[in-house]
């Protein structure tokens, strides 16, 4: 289908001369129409002169009436997408998606381009067309035109926002007979493609909250599922689950559920819970929102923070049992519980705000449940929420029931398969005569992947794998002896309690 370029009229200082041939074809070849065409062309010429040389208020006056006049004859439809929207002049998501979508076309067609560094390894520069440029695009054989523009408004007020007097926009022009296709399928295509390219190109961010405000740094963590030491079957199951989730937008729409998934990661300290979150973010190409609940004043602040999170992100609440009072359950903690908790747990408890502290967080379990179930679900886009804990048994069952925390993953002490991953990563070793000894010891004693990794860390350069393995074996034997000593001591203490008339339970 041959389509000619439409005459684009805008309220800007630039003017695209109409194509006379196009106009004649459109309205027939009769004399009268030819004359009408010339009249129209003359009118447009006068209008262009006014735009170029007349002061703002006169231009404004002419704009108002000329727009009405041209609309009558003009067979094209225009849609404007402004860059800044809303009260707080937030950058419009549609504008950003269009800019990204047009980047490739702009770099081929536009004469003046803008470049921005995106620090992406594969594509370091993002190109977009400069103001008052125009490019064409084709969709299902239909040609459309994108023009970039800028309105400069003389504002009387002092604004806190930078350059709010300059209002950029993209204007899409297409023939009115294609209205349905362009307004529906084409625009969906542009926004979807734009978002996808943006996600692929973006620098991912790690957000942390200071009270009710998010601040971010660039997220660059090298962890991946390849480097994560855990049982390969379990690992594959998680990878499959994430892949299914991230590509299931239509499925979630069809079954009428929000596109969300909750993960509960639990296990002793140093078993890789934080490392797994980083691997998940790298795998899915998602941002991370590391939510510090103890810094959140109340449920309202929590709601605000969560509403501000973007799609394609993982919202993480680490050590959930230490971050909040779980419906009074913690208040009922027995003395024994306190004795039981290990040093790490105790130090984390110290970080927890005191109950009579006026600055203490008033976020409640019900506030958190509301967020997991309702408010958060109302925000569009895909999001994962991940809770981590060292003490899964202390969590309120309501918080972690399926539907809220869909997948419960236990990260445990290092097994032989996990050790093999670490040996491959740290020492480039697939096999070694000492592996059997390591396997035997790992079956007999508990050592976290963090400790195993530390023992495999080469201490000299170039690395001596055998020396590292021997170091690990020594450490495992030491841990085994410690465990035996602890057991003996525990049995002795129990015996003493029994002698004193107590069966050891309080």
Ligand X SMILES: Nc1ncnc2c1ncn2[C@@H]1O[C@H](COP(=O)(O)OP(=O)(O)OP(=O)(O)O)[C@@H](O)[C@H]1O
Q: Which is nearer to ligand X, 59 or 420 (CB)?
A: 420
Q: Which is nearer to ligand X, 103 or 227 (CB)?
A: 227
- Give Cβ neighbours of residue 337 (< 8 Å, ≥ 6 apart): none
> DSSP of 306-345, one letter per residue?
HHTPPSSEEEEETTHHHHS--TTTTTT--HHHHHHS-HHH
Closest CA to 449 of 407, 401, 473, 414: 414
Residue sitting closest to ligand X (CB):
272
Q: What are phi and psi of 206, to 5 degrees?
A: -110, 115
Q: What is the DSSP letter of 203?
A: P
Q: Which is nearer to ligand X, 227 or 309 (CB)?
A: 227
Least separation in angstroms between residue 318's CB and ligand X is: 6
Q: Which is nearer to ligand X, 261 or 273 (CB)?
A: 273
**Rounded-to-integer distance, Cα 379 and Cα 285, Å:** 19
Least separation in angstroms between residue 471's CB and ligand X is: 16
Q: Which is nearer to ligand X, 18 or 272 (CB)?
A: 272
Least separation in angstroms between residue 268's CB and ligand X is: 7
**Rounded-to-integer distance, Cα 18 and Cα 37, Å:** 10
Two tokens, residue 350: 């110290």
Q: Largest Cα–Cα distance in the chain?
A: 119
Least separation in angstroms between residue 425's CB and ligand X is: 8
Least separation in angstroms between residue 325's CB and ligand X is: 20
Q: Given its phi and psi angles, is residue 211 left (phi above 0), alpha (psi -120 to 50 degrees) or beta?
A: left
Least separation in angstroms between residue 465's CB and ligand X is: 18
Least separation in angstroms between residue 457's CB and ligand X is: 9
> Which residues make up the interface to ligand X (CB under 6 A)?
227-230, 269-275, 390, 449-450, 453
Closest CA to 425 of 280, 274, 287, 275: 275
Q: Which is nearer to ligand X, 276 or 326 (CB)?
A: 276
Q: Which is nearer to ligand X, 44 or 476 (CB)?
A: 476
């Amino acid at each position: 289908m041959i389509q000619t370029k439409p005459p684009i009229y805008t309220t800007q200082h630039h003017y695209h001369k109409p194509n006379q041939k196009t106009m004649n074809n459109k309205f027939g070849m009769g004399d009268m129409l030819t004359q009408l065409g010339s009249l129209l062309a003359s009118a447009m010429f006068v209008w262009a002169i006014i735009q170029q040389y007349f002061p703002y208020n006169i231009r404004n006056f002419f704009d108002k009436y000329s727009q009405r006049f041209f609309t009558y004859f003009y067979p094209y439809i225009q849609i404007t997408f402004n860059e800044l929207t809303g009260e707080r002049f937030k950058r419009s998501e549609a504008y950003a998606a269009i800019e990204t979508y047009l980047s490739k076309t702009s770099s081929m067609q536009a004469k003046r381009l803008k470049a921005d560094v995106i620090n992406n390894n594969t594509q370091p520069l993002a190109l977009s067309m400069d103001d008052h440029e125009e490019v064409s695009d084709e969709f299902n054989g239909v040609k459309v035109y994108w023009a970039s523009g800028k309105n400069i408004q003389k504002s009387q007020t002092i604004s806190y926002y930078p350059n709010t007097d300059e209002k950029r926009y993209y204007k899409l022009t297409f023939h009115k007979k294609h209205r349905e296709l362009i307004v529906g399928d084409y625009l969906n295509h542009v926004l979807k493609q734009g978002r996808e390219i943006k996600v692929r190109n973006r620098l991912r961010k790690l957000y942390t909250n200071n009270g009710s405000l998010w601040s971010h740094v660039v997220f660059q963590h090298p962890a991946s599922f390849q480097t994560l030491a855990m049982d390969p079957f379990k690992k594959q199951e998680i990878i499959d689950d994430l892949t299914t989730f991230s590509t299931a937008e239509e499925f979630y729409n069809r079954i009428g559920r929000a596109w969300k998934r909750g993960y509960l990661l639990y296990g002793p300290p140093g078993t890789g819970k934080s490392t797994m979150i980083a691997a998940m973010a790298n795998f899915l190409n998602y941002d991370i929102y590391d939510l510090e609940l103890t810094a959140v004043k109340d449920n309202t602040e929590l709601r605000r923070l969560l509403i501000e999170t973007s799609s394609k992100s993982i919202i993480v609440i680490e050590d959930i049992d230490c971050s909040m009072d779980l419906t009074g359950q913690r208040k009922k903690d027995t003395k024994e519980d306190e004795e039981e908790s290990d040093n790490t747990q105790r130090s984390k408890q110290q970080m927890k705000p005191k109950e009579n502290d006026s600055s203490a967080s008033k976020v409640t379990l019900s506030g958190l449940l509301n967020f997991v179930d309702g408010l958060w679900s109302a925000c569009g886009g895909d999001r994962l929420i991940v809770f981590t804990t060292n003490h899964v048994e202390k969590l309120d069952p309501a918080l972690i029931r399926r539907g809220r925390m869909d997948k419960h993953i236990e990260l445990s002490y290092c097994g032989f398969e996990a050790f093999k991953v670490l040996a491959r990563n740290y020492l480039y070793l697939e096999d070694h005569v000492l592996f059997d000894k390591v396997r035997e010891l790992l079956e007999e004693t508990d050592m976290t992947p963090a400790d195993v990794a530390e023992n495999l860390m080469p201490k000299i350069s170039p690395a001596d794998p055998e020396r590292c393995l021997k170091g690990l074996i020594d450490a495992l034997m030491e841990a085994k002896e410690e465990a035996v000593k602890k057991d003996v001591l525990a049995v002795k203490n129990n015996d003493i309690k029994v002698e004193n008339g107590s069966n050891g339970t309080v």
